[in-house]
Homo-oligomer: A and B are copies of this chain.
């Protein structure tokens, strides 16, 4: 499991001293004693923290003569910041693959072609919701979309993107603000089946 890497990353950011170190390094690279000086700590303490930051991949170092400069790895920071969110998303799609109920699958078979096109928009509300679920899942949580992009993506399923777009809003899969669309959190999505709890 690579959960451990994730934990080490979050542990690295779970300490005030280390956050302050990273903030300092965001201005410019620094060597150990400079950091110690600015934070009012002793060099061994800095070594301790730099070890953890290094293990998390958040800093790299270069030697210059006798002194070692530490330097922030911004890209790693950004990648790992979202790692857990991504993991949850994977889990989610895995789940819906294995857990999609028979009933749902039947609806899919009826309304989607094998290459993922929507044959017709279901008239019955419950079936329509199931279909909308699948369409909404092609968008990413947290990402903002312009109407053009929305239409494009919906059109991969069906040509009547206007109706489907409106349905996504009506049933709270997404919301619109000043022409920008974004997914609602999954908890706001309508349940497509009975509750399982």
Candidates B22, B74, B78, B85; contact of A78 at CB < 8 Å: B85
Copies in the complex: 2
Interface pair B14/A7, CB less than 8 Å apart = yes
Q: Which of A107-115, A121-129, A161-169 contacts B (4 or more CB under 8 A)?
A: A107-115
Taking the closest CB of chain B, its distance from the CB of A50, in whole angstroms, is 15
Measured between beta carbons, the chain B residues less than 8 angstroms from A11 are 10, 14
CA distance A197 to B14 in the complex (A): 28
Interface residues in A37-94 by Cβ distance below 8 A to B read 64, 69, 71-75, 77-78, 81-82, 84-85, 87-88, 91-92
Q: Are B88 and A22 in contact (CB under 8 A)?
A: yes
**Contacts A7-B16, A14-B7, A16-B3: A81 and B78 contacting too (C-beta < 8 A)?**
no
Q: Which of A25-33, A130-138, A149-157, A170-178 contacts B (4 or more CB under 8 A)?
A: A25-33
Partner of A29, one of B34, B84, B197: B197
A69 touches B197 (CB 8 A): yes
Question: Which B residues touch A29, using CB under 8 A?
Answer: 109, 114, 197
- What is the bound-complex CA distance between A151 and B4, given in angstroms? 42
Residues from chain B with Cβ under 8 Å of A74 in the complex:
88, 141, 185-187
